[in-house]
Amino acid sequence: LVYPLVYILFIRYRWSITEEVLQEENCRMDDIVARCDSIVQNYSLIIDYNTRASFMAAFDATVQAFNSADTACVQVLLNNERFAPWLALLILSAYQVYGGIQVVQGDLSLGVYLVNIGFYASFG
């Protein structure tokens, strides 16, 4: 009961953050495409007026902006991906302590405890 509830709350919290970084990455990719298109269409003017350096600097800034957005996006997606195994490990660890105490006190049989450990381990 705890696992789905916490996971749903996590997804609800992370939804807007994930959407924001994905949108930013897509916008920066669109900027690269637009910049490339502009350079290709204006290639003869760039060469004729010897403005290659300024166009390269602008393109480099566009690529750096995309790289920053991509890094942020990858970090958020990786954190989202790794949350479920960490949550399962946390729940399993908590049950090992709680269930172990119950086994030692005689309130829970060792067989039931081991079956429950196997069940909780299957989440991760």
| 20-37: pLDDT as tens digits | 999 999 999 999 999 999
pLDDT tens-digit series, residues 36-62? 999 999 999 999 999 999 999 999 999
Tokens 């709350």 map to which residue? Answer: 9
- Cβ neighbours for 120, distance < 8 A, ≥ 6 positions apart: 88, 91, 92, 95
Q: Which two tokens stand for residue 90?
A: 């946390």
**Are 70 and 25 a contacting pair, CB within 8 Å?**
yes
pLDDT at 124 over 70: no
Q: Rounded to the nearest 10 degrees, how much is the dihedral formed by the CA atoms of 44, 49, 52, 55?
A: -90
pTM of the predicted model as reported, rounded to 2 decimal places = 0.79
Strand, coil or helix: what is 110? helix
**Are 116 and 96 a contacting pair, CB within 8 Å?**
no
